[in-house]
Amino acid sequence: VLEIITTDAPAVEGARRKHKFEQPPYTVRKKLLWAAYEEIYRHGYQGARVDRILAAAGLTKGTFYYHFPSKLDLGYAVVDECLTRTLDIICLTPLREGSDPIATLGSIILGSEVTSRRAVELGCPLNNLAQEMSPVDEGFRQRINAVFLTWQSAIEDALRRGQVRGVVRTDVDVEATALLIIATLEGCIGMAKQSRSLGVLERCSKGFLKLLDGLRP
Amino acid sequence: VLEIITTDAPAVEGARRKHKFEQPPYTVRKKLLWAAYEEIYRHGYQGARVDRILAAAGLTKGTFYYHFPSKLDLGYAVVDECLTRTLDIICLTPLREGSDPIATLGSIILGSEVTSRRAVELGCPLNNLAQEMSPVDEGFRQRINAVFLTWQSAIEDALRRGQVRGVVRTDVDVEATALLIIATLEGCIGMAKQSRSLGVLERCSKGFLKLLDGLRP
């Protein structure tokens, strides 16, 4: 999950109407959520500031508390809604719709140029939050873990379908491999982030692609 | 780098003398450093509190500022001295002294029971700090990156010596492989941490060991 998906978020310009109260609550909530997603991606949950989120979304504190009782509720909603949605667009849907899971998984790590640059600068939004909040807050940990488990079982399903179709080796341990694929992907993005180097991401990706290639019959 | 190495740190009981001023400054400094290492490992650098570090080390604020002008200097020293020393004991020395780098690297991930439990609970101290501080502070980023580069070149050297000795395949791209080994190792520890599961660490490790096994002639 390398990149913010803004297709789900209202375009800032387009959503800017004359009067805030004209916006349907659903849109306001989404605006808040995606502004929070970006703020948390940049600063971590603990470093995220509600005033910056509100400024980015062009909303008031009152609006915030109308939708979320606290910063923690907003943080949880970012995991449940934004991270889940991002994962779905980047990985789950392509895996479900594609016929070759190995090619699909391979295309995730380098993604687009924008995606790679964001990964080098900021890492992976899901794993950042996992590493920051899992040891600190059980509510975050369980929600984040649920996203990882969804991801894992989507990879498992795709590999199994690939085995049936003959594009994945039948002796591959599907569960262990899905876990290793996520770990390696996150490890590569983490190395790119700490070194701030696109070259590191590219070199690491080669190893990841080789791992995937080893799954072909 | 999974575990605090306390062999370098003075044993708390042994170092507890009647009068604090009897302790040679070198010992006091080390005590502070290793207490900070543990505090940062548990709470992150930004969450680390100097008062908790002082309480753990049994030292006063005056002693702290005698050795470190600020929390930031202490944080940098933890990277330069503690993380480097930990890495050296866990990985660099075994790689230098061992004759089979693949076996040595394989023994790192599961380590001892204590090591694994700490990894599941808290993750890797080096990677935690890298993921937290690299995007936030350039001083941390450069120091942490230097530790990763030292690690990487130690693995490269060991793999090259292994190639000469015939225990590593000669067609292995030593640089790309060293990077991938670190990424995969860190990815596995990260997955164990976010899931809080020793089972995840063990299953992930199997994939890591398979990757290593693929390097054998």
pLDDT digit string, tens, across residues B200-212:
999 998 889 988 9
Q: How many CB atoms lie within 10 A of CB B114?
A: 11
Six-digit token string for B162? 């292994």
Q: Is A216 in the B-facing interface, judged by CB distances under 8 Å?
A: no
Q: Residue B5 pLDDT > 60, yes or no? A: no
Nearest CB to A187; choose among B145, B176, B183: B183
Determine the Cα–Cα distance for residues B51 and B53; give it in Å rounded to an integer: 5
pLDDT for the residue numbered B136: 87
Contact B183/A191, CB-based, under 8 Å?
Answer: yes
Contact A130/B179, CB-based, under 8 Å?
Answer: no
Q: Is B146 in the A-facing interface, judged by CB distances under 8 Å?
A: no
The string over A99-113, giving b where at least 16 C-beta atoms fall within 10 Å of a residue's C-beta and e elsewhere, is: eebbebbbebbbbee
The stretches in chain A having pLDDT less than 50 are: 1-20
| Cβ pair B122, B42 in contact under 8 A | yes
B100/B115: higher pLDDT: B100
Question: What is the tens place of the pLDDT at every residue in A22-69?
Answer: 566 678 999 999 999 999 999 999 989 999 999 999 999 999 999 999
List of long-range contacts for A80-83, beta carbons under 8 Å, 24+ apart = A80/A143, A81/A33, A82/A8, A82/A33, A82/A34, A82/A36, A82/A37, A83/A1, A83/A37, A83/A125, A83/A126, A83/A129, A83/A144, A83/A147
Determine the Cα–Cα distance for residues B180 and B167; give it in Å rounded to an integer: 19
pTM of the predicted model, to two decimals?
0.86
Determine the Cα–Cα distance for residues A181 and A198; give it in Å rounded to an integer: 20
Chain B residues inside the 8 Å CB shell of A195: 145, 148
Q: Is A128 in the B-facing interface, judged by CB distances under 8 Å?
A: yes
DSSP character for B98?
-
Chain B residues inside the 8 Å CB shell of A134: 193-194, 196
Round the CA-based radius of gyration of chain A to a whole number and report it.
19
Determine the Cα–Cα distance for residues B66 and B208; give it in Å rounded to an integer: 45
Determine the Cα–Cα distance for residues A165 and A84; give it in Å rounded to an integer: 28
Determine the Cα–Cα distance for residues B54 and B73; give it in Å rounded to an integer: 15
Question: B84 pLDDT band (50/70/90 cuts)?
Answer: very high
Chain B stretch 173-192, residues whose beta carbon is closer than 8 A to a beta carbon of chain A? 175-177, 179-180, 182-188, 190-191
Size of interface A-B (CB pairs under 8 A): 135
A76/B11: higher pLDDT: A76
Chain B residues inside the 8 Å CB shell of A206: 176
Q: Residue B6 pLDDT > 70, yes or no? A: no
pLDDT for the residue numbered B13: 40
Determine the Cα–Cα distance for residues B16 and B3; give it in Å rounded to an integer: 24
For an interface test with A, the pick among B195, B203, B206, B211 (most A C-beta atoms closer than 10 Å) comes out as B195
Q: B40 CA to chain A: closest CA distance, Å? A: 12
Considering chain B, what is the average pLDDT of its residues?
A: 88
pLDDT for the residue numbered B23: 61
Six-digit token string for B7? 């062999």
Contact B131/A122, CB-based, under 8 Å?
Answer: no
Determine the Cα–Cα distance for residues B75 and B129; give it in Å rounded to an integer: 10
Contact A131/B131, CB-based, under 8 Å?
Answer: yes
Determine the Cα–Cα distance for residues B7 and B118; give it in Å rounded to an integer: 17
Cβ-proximal residues to B38 (8 Å cutoff; 6+ apart), any chain: B4, B56
pLDDT for the residue numbered B40: 96
pLDDT for the residue numbered A22: 52
How many helices (DSSP H) and strands (DSSP E) are in chain B?
13, 0
Determine the Cα–Cα distance for residues B37 and B14; give it in Å rounded to an integer: 19
A107/B114: higher pLDDT: A107
Q: Residue B2 pLDDT > 50, yes or no? A: no
Shortest CA distance to A126 belongs to which of A180, A200, A185? A185
Location of structure tokens 């894992």: A152
Chain A residues inside the 8 Å CB shell of B148: 191, 194-195
Q: Residue B20 pLDDT > 60, yes or no? A: no
